Structure 1
């Protein structure tokens, strides 16, 4: 396969998926991100890519994740965070603290079993504070081995599904014995500028393209400036500094109302995550992924369920009610799009907005926390 065809496939396969999800009922049931990973893995393991394709795919994945960060963060409204109840903010802080502590324990246990243990801890802290965007960004910032990354992400997909089943079924009946109960039922509006149900056809609504291009252009400018500034630091730290600068500049831009309300920025950021997924998947070696899957499956399980148990214990200590704890835990571990279904299942609809907002906070702080803790663990481990 030529370089041009590879670039076209990486960029256009997610477009085809988004088109089909809107028009084919069967396709609507599948996660676009997972299908992109599978397609990438299939492409990279059927023997049609030359050895030189790895460098091109690496460039494509790095560019895609860099552009996705500002687009995902432009719609963050930091000023509205102060409207959250103290309990929701505290529950989020305790969730971030829990995953950081448990990741540190997991790192210490696995450091002799995996040379990437510190990086994996950083990946999981970012993932279980924010979500997949943070996982992708931290992978790039820390230059995590692509096969390790895919093993971790695959493990998370399986274990997060189990986590959601637990949260929506037996978690509340068990935790209500140690956490207080509170009535949170009733309807509440979702944030106007954040939609997790954007359709492919929305891109073709009249009058939107100028604003969509403006958001994309601003994202490119932020990436360009960040790359330029990163040249001032030693080469080993340039990628990490670039990701942190992009995150910081995007959050600063979100304070400008005209930028924060640009349409389709979040959806466009998701599209670039899908491009990243295809590119990273195509670089993966299925044999190596399965060979290391057992180790990283256990690693991820310890961090996910260990941090959940610790979070519940800390919330009990601070008298946070069971629904708030579970909703905030969902927003941190599974990201904002899952808050609604969990809130409905728990009959806690009034917590949809706080849950989504704490999840957005996680998107904003996940890169900083994951990268910082990975570097700390490396320093401690020598």
Structure 2
């Protein structure tokens, strides 16, 4: 690699690693930034980096070679030969180095983040204290699957790669961004489809939360029973505890936190290494999927080890790495291709989100599940666990927080498996 490409590579990597710090800082400082959300902001920054003159233009010859290879970049040994032979120009070499970094950062970051996020999940404890949350969870999962399959048949033929889009939607509506990102990696979904699917999901997510925060409870109470408070045995969880569990980065650089956290990061690297080694034993077409499922399984398994689970701020570190992923994958998206993506994708995402929550409520009626439990369960699946305390506060009911957390954590655990399974079924042409 040439000296210029080395410098550009270092600068790009530093940008990916440092920019999330500033996004998180401003998110904690300004309410507007917090409302927009760190994930969407990183997507926007990434798109601007990749599409507004920051990267050099490439020649038609370089683009033709990439199209023939079907990859994000030309192998580094081949790029030198092509340049020395005069088949490509210097800016192609530079852009290829950038594409190499983008591709590897996107692939590795999400697989490093997943175990860290899963380490923080006390799945065994929350399941044992969940009560009727499991019923609501199962209804929620079934509702998501039904609406995604119905949407597949409604929009089949109008949406590019709709089978894999269905897998993405299962991931995001069971576990959120980390699962969606992992499924993208496992299935090799294009950056443009991934970005637009997730962007539409966030738009509808904002509309959904506005509905819940305003009239949602009143609407569901028209046909669902009200929540009955339990006077004994309630698990008390403070807003501060929840913030520390899912959002706050305060004190993360303290020696007492950073040293164990580095150990957890090292364990995540080890999990990725083991998964990569074992995954390479599988056929080429299944290799990436196997790696993602192995990383997920090992992350869940090690979350049962108390010494690992008790390490502070693993969730936050995992989400920081997810923001790196968001920057990287967005910088690879071509806005010209984004404009060509069918509006039917927009409808499919909305159909899956609102349809699954409505179906969840209808089925819950037959199981006599109360309105607050349905709302908190749907919110945990659609918006992920960090939103649980916010929704609980809008319901003026902190007792449902545990239910929401159980549902959300279970979604993190099963999202990758379900998403990949559903994509496989849909892609088989049922």
Q: Encode CA deviations 1:257-289: one digit per residue, 9 max, x unaligned.
A: 000111111110001100000001101112221
- Backbone CA RMSD of aligned residues: 2.0
Query: Of 343, 348, 366, which residue of structure 1 is paired with 2:415?
Result: 366
Distance 1:27 1:154, change over 3 A: closer
Gaps of 5+ in 2: 57-94
TM-score, with length taken from structure 1? 0.94
State which structure, 1 or 2, has the greater radius of gyration over its C-alpha atoms.
Answer: 2
User: 1:138 maps to which residue?
Assistant: 183
1:124 matched to 2:130? The reply is no
Q: In the alignment, what sits opposite 2:59? A: none
Answering whether residue 201 of structure 2 is matched by residue 153 of structure 1, we say no
Helix, strand or coil for the counterpart of 1:49?
coil
Could you list the per-position Cα deviations for residues 45-72 of structure 1 after superposition, in whole angstroms to 9, with x for gaps in the alignment?
Answer: 0123244223321110110000000000
State the match for 1:272 in structure 2: 321
Question: Aligned pair 1:197/2:263, yes or no?
Answer: no
**Shift of residue 6, structure 1, vs aligned partner:** 1.3
Unaligned runs of 5+ in 1: none
Partner residue in 1 for 2:50: 44
The answer as to whether partners of 1:155 and 1:293 remain within 8 angstroms in 2 is no
In the TM superposition, 1:154-233 aligns within 5 A as: 154-184=199-229, 188-190=236-238, 195-199=245-249, 201-233=250-282
Equivalents in 2 of 1:348, 1:26: separation in Å?
Answer: 26
Change (3 A) 1:80 1:282: same
* Corresponding position: 1:263 with 2:312: yes
2:107 to 62, 71, 79: 62
Residues 165/184 of structure 1: CA separation in 2 closer, same or farther (3 Å cut)? farther
Asked if the contact 2:123–2:409 (Cα under 8 Å) also holds between the matched residues in 1, the reply is no
Question: Take 1:340 and 1:131, find their aligned partners in 2: how far apart are those partners?
Answer: 16
Aligned residues: 380
Query: What's the offset of the Cα at 1:223?
Result: 0.4
Correspondence 1:355 to 2:400: no
**Contact 2:380/2:388 (CA < 8 Å) preserved in 1?**
yes
Offset, 1:28:
5.0
Question: Which residue is 1:89 aligned to?
Answer: 134
Residue 171 of structure 1 and its aligned partner are, at CA, apart by 2.5
CA shift for structure 1 position 182: 2.1
The 1-side partners of 2:397 and 2:264 are apart by: 35
Given that 1:190 and 1:353 are in contact with CA atoms closer than 8 Å, whether structure 2 keeps it comes out as no
SS of corresponding position for 1:207: helix
Q: Highest relative contact order (Cα 8 Å, sep 6+), 1 or 2?
A: 1
Paired residue for 1:33? 39
Q: Indicate how the Cα distance of structure 1 residues 19 and 179 shifts in structure 2: closer, same or farther if over 3 A, else same.
A: closer
* Aligned partner of 1:12 among 18, 22, 26: 18
Answer yes or no: is the 8 Å Cα contact 1:42–1:282 preserved in 2. Answer: yes
| Native 8 Å contact 1:183 1:348 kept in 2 | no
- Return 180-189 or 86-95, whichever deviates more: 180-189
Question: For 1:28 and 1:105, how far apart are their aligned partners in 2?
Answer: 34
Q: Matched residue of 2:340: which SS?
A: helix
Relative to structure 1, is the Cα distance of residues 7 and 99 closer, same or farther in structure 2, using a 3 angstrom cutoff?
A: same
Segments of 4+ moved more than 3 angstroms:
19-30, 183-187, 190-194
Matched residues in 2 for 1:25 and 1:170: separation? 23
